[in-house]
Amino acid sequence: MLASILQNLFNAFQWGSFYSLIALGYTLVYGVLRLINFAHGDIFMVGAYIAFFIASAFLGMTFSLPGWMILAMVIPLTMILTALVGVSIERIAYRPLRRKGAHRLYVVITALMCGLVLENGNLALFGASRKSFPDIVDKVVYTVGDLSMTNLKIGVVISAILVFVILHFIVTKTKIGMAMRAISYDKFAVPLMGIPIDTIIVFTFILGSSFAGLAGLLFAMSYPILDPYMGALIGWKAFIAAVVGGIGDIRGAFFGGFLLGFVEILVVAVFPSTFRELIAFAILMTILCIKPTGMFGVAGTTKI
């Protein structure tokens, strides 16, 4: 009994890591722009596909490199390329709307459409067949008593914590982070202070999308079957996690993601698995009813 509780706690840590990583992207963009970037789940999917193509290219080379070296190259390349996709979406879809002073609602709808374009673009380009993500690093299963964990799962949890620490540092301790918070506070006064608002927004998208790319890579390694719609559901759920944590707040996204992971896994551990989403989201709704701004959220003031 104790063994399965511990095992489930560990399962929840790993599953929550993905929600956390994606929720951080939602929260960053929302914190700066007050825009819910609904395309974020699909940027995550694009990240997984980019990782797939890079990894396959490296593995297909004539001379073979050790797995860790390939991984060390796949990670930054995936993050850079996914960031490019995120920035392009900002450039093509969101910036023109912002320039024209469109209401935030229209930008959110545009974001939804961008997500659909990414999904169906992928479907049209690469077909409906699933892609199987290659094994980059050999999987090692560690067994302690009845508790099983793999090197990959441990890596996922550590990555999520690392990303949170880095983001938290950037936002609270650096100048660019200060600028991000300033835009969040008053986006009309900030340019008057000589802060290049577009640069800061692009930087926000680079941060959010590159970590979505990392999440995509880690997800593809953990669940090695890719399809064009893989980002939709997990994206929504991560968005909910970010809201429950208090959207716009980095700590909120981090804890919200883990909270959702825990609730989902533990509901299955205790109740029949049929009730998974029903109970999980009933719990989250209750939290929101008690604290509508989310766990770390403060109504209406500066966020991030």
Partner 1 sequence: MASVLLFATAGGAESIKIGFNIPLTGDIPKVGEESKFAGEMLREEINAAGGLEVGGKKYQLEFIYEDNESKAESAVSAALKLIERDNVLAIVGPNSSKQAVPAGQASDDNQTPMISPWSTNPDTTKDRPWVFRAAFLDPFQGPVAVDFAMEQFGAKTAAVLYALDNDYSKGLAEIFRDDFNSKNGENSVKAFESYSSKDQDFSAQLTKILAAKPDFIFLPNNYNEVALIIKQAHDLGWKGPFMGADAWGNSELMALCGDDCKGQYFSTHYAAAGATGDTKVFIDRYKAKYGYEPADVAALTWDATRIVLQAIQNTGGLSGKTRADRKAIRDAMAAIPEFPGITGNMKFDEQGDPIKCAVVVKISDKGEFVFTKSVCP
CB of 64 vs partner 1, minimal distance in Å:
18
Are the C-beta atoms of residues 257 and 157 closer than 8 Å to each other?
no
Give the span between the Cα atoms of 83 and 206, in whole angstroms. Answer: 5
Nearer to partner 1, 94 or 219 (CB): 219
Residues 6+ apart with CB under 8 A from 119: 42, 45, 228, 229, 231, 232
Burial environment of residue 79 by CB neighbours within 10 A (0 to 12, 13 to 18, 19 or more)? buried
**Residue 145 or 194 having the CB closest to partner 1:** 145
From the CB of 288, what's the least distance to partner 1, in Å? 23
Q: Which is nearer to partner 1, 11 or 293 (CB)?
A: 11
Closest separation in Å from C-beta 70 to partner 1: 18
Q: Tell me the DSSP string of 59-115.
A: HTSSSPPPHHHHHHHHHHHHHHHHHHHHHHHIIIIIHHHHHTT--HHHHHHHHHHHH
CB of 297 to partner 1, least distance (A): 27
Q: How far is the CB of 224 from partner 1 (least distance, A)?
A: 7
d(CA 190, CA 188): 6
**In the complex, minimum distance from the CB of residue 267 to partner 1, in angstroms, rounded to a whole number:** 8
Q: Which residue's CB is nearer to partner 1, number 83 or number 218?
A: 218
Q: Which is nearer to partner 1, 3 or 92 (CB)?
A: 3
Residue type, 151: N
A 10 A CB-CB count for 120 gives 13
Task: Give whichever of 3 and 69 is closer to partner 1, judged by the CB atom.
Answer: 3
Select 62 or 274, whichever has its Cβ closest to partner 1.
274
User: Alpha-carbon distance 269 to 158, whole Å?
Assistant: 24
Token pair listed for 209 = 């999308």
Task: Report the alpha-carbon distance of residue 203 to residue 201 in Å, rounded.
Answer: 5
Residues making contact with partner 1 (CB under 8 A): 1, 3-4, 7-8, 11-12, 14-15, 123, 127-130, 132, 135, 139, 141, 143, 146, 148, 150, 153, 223-225, 227, 230, 233-234, 264-266, 268-269, 272-274, 276-277
SS3 284: helix
Quote the least distance from Cβ 282 to partner 1, whole Å: 16
